[in-house]
Amino acid sequence: MGHNIHVPKLPNADDFSRDLLASHASKGKLYRNALLITGGIFSLGILAFLVRFFTEEFNSDNREPWAYYAAMVAFLLTTAGAAPIVAVALRLVKAHWRRPMTRVAEIYGSVGLLTLLLFIPLLFLIPSASGRRTIWFQDHDGPFGIGTYGKIPGAPHAYDLLALLFLVICGLALLYLSALPDIAKLRDQKSESRVNYNRLSLGWYGTWKQWKIVNLGVTLLGVFYLMLFIYTMSIFSIDLSLSLVPGWRDAIYPTFQTLTALQAGLAATIVGLYLIRRFARLEQYIGVEQFWGASKILLALSLLWFYFWWSGFIVYWYGRIPAEKDILELFMFGPYMALFIAAFLLCFVCPFLILLWNSVRKTVWGPTLAGVSVLLGTLVDKIRLYVPSWSITDSLDKHALSSMPGTNYPDIGDLLMVFGGIAGAIFIYLLVSKIVPIVSFWEMKEGMMLRTVRRYLRREIIVHGKPD
């Protein structure tokens, strides 16, 4: 009533396959330049890491020089690690509009391999859980002074590593299984690619049994990935930030970090979808519908960002014991106040004001702009949380900070490691997109077969069918 809705002509499945195959095969000069630039910055980041490694003492008593490196690893886990959940969640609720963006989100799972490799050096910098208060319960003797209460061998190093390892394996398996029908299609095209699609396709010919295995496997792997990510993000944020600051106790913090990861993962997917739509010339198949649908979820997650931050903040604000006042000063009102204000504006205020209006949500540029704001805010927020945590020089068996540390400003090595890690993630994403189609053939074709245009009263509307 009162809205003039124009229903476009639905794209043909054969035309889509032809256009996507052409886009996948013809990686032009822009793609090669992007690989060279990101690869070059990534190489500089590796060089900066090696220089820092051989010039600084590398042990758990000297964490401060690696503070920005830890923040960068946390940023990659928060953004690229959470992005596949977008595909998982939208596939579980059978949202038709998600089809062009599921593969965009799933390819971020390949970045997890880089995150895992970058995380390994941090294992040598995390102090043992023995003798201090952590979630691993190893800070005092057991009853009657016999043994150590709750001693868990290898904590926290082994369990953090295993959690991230299983998460990466699950993400790669999800991407591969989801892309298997498309790999077989590229095999049948007999392209001149150097990739051996015949071996990668594993004898896929689209039988009913094979399709059943793919659909069930993608669902199960998606559910496992979601559960693993929540666990991994929780213990990562606790062991690599919260437990490194004496007196910092916050039961909401792991949940808040997981929530910010969901927000950042969706933002990374939206920004990636925009770039693919723009530079892969797929405007006909990636329309406003995907951005409009994703913007509503991003708006809700931005509101939840404020809710969880407020829930944690208000306890400290009204608690007012000295240890809690020190935590507020360290992370919000002291040496890192500017970063806190920037993170608050970029993660909550800006996306909220942008996505508040339906006329802006129903565009391509509006959700993309909000996504860029969230990604920048997430990077600033990780620096705000992890750099102070890694700059503490107090003994970790204390119950409060003995003194307020100053601001740890980045030097050229820190900047190269941060931007080098982010560039490395983009570099891997681009490489994988050369092997796996950036948009799913089979999911898009399935969606085209399940919808049609019907006349209703005085207008034409799109009618969606149910796949099962």
Q: Above 70 in pLDDT, residue 141?
A: no
Give the Cα-Cα-Cα angle 22, 27, 32 (nearest 5 degrees): 175
Least confident of 2-11, 129-138, 266-275, 289-298: 2-11
Buried b (16+ CB within 10 A) or exposed e, 277-303: beebebeebbbeebbbbbbebbbebbe
- Judged against a pLDDT cut of 80, whether residue 279 lies above it is answered with yes
Q: Rounded to the nearest 5 degrees, what angle is found at the Cα of 173, between the Cα atoms of 238 and 43?
A: 65
Q: Compute φ and ψ for 26, nearest 5 degrees.
A: -105, 80
* In-domain check, residue 247: yes
State the residue range of the domain holding 221.
63-464
- pLDDT tens-digit map of 241-253: 998 998 888 999 9
Band (94; pLDDT cuts 50, 70, 90): confident
23 against 283, higher pLDDT: 283
- 236-248 in b/e form (b: 16+ CB < 10 A) is bbbbbbbbbbbbb
Per-residue confidence band for 145, with pLDDT thresholds at 50, 70 and 90: very low
Stretch among 6-10, 265-269, 391-395, 444-448 having the lowest mean pLDDT: 6-10
Domain count along the chain: 1
In a domain, 46, yes or no: no
Q: Does residue 20 fall inside a structural domain?
A: no
Residue 275 has a pLDDT of 93
- For residue 237, CA distances in Å to 74, 75, 78, 99, 251 come to 8, 11, 10, 32, 12
What mean pLDDT do residues 344-351 have? 97
Residue 42 lies in a domain: no
- Is the pLDDT at 294 greater than 50? The verdict is yes
| C-beta of residue 240 within 8 angstroms of C-beta of residue 60 | no
**Confidence class for position 177, pLDDT limits 50, 70, 90:** very high
- Please check whether residue 56 lies inside any domain of the structure: no
Position 378 in a domain: yes
* Least confident residue range of 3-7, 165-169, 328-332: 3-7
pLDDT of 12: 66
* pLDDT tens per residue across span 104-134: 999 999 999 999 999 999 999 988 877 777 7
**Cβ(274)–Cβ(334) below 8 Å:** no
Look at residue 284 and tell me if it is in a domain: yes
Q: Please indicate, yes or no, if residue 298 is contained in any of the structural domains.
A: yes
Sign of torsion over alpha carbons 260, 81, 224, 152: negative
Q: Whole-angstrom Cα distance, residue 71 to residue 170?
A: 24
pLDDT of residue 137: 64
Q: What is the pTM of this model?
A: 0.91
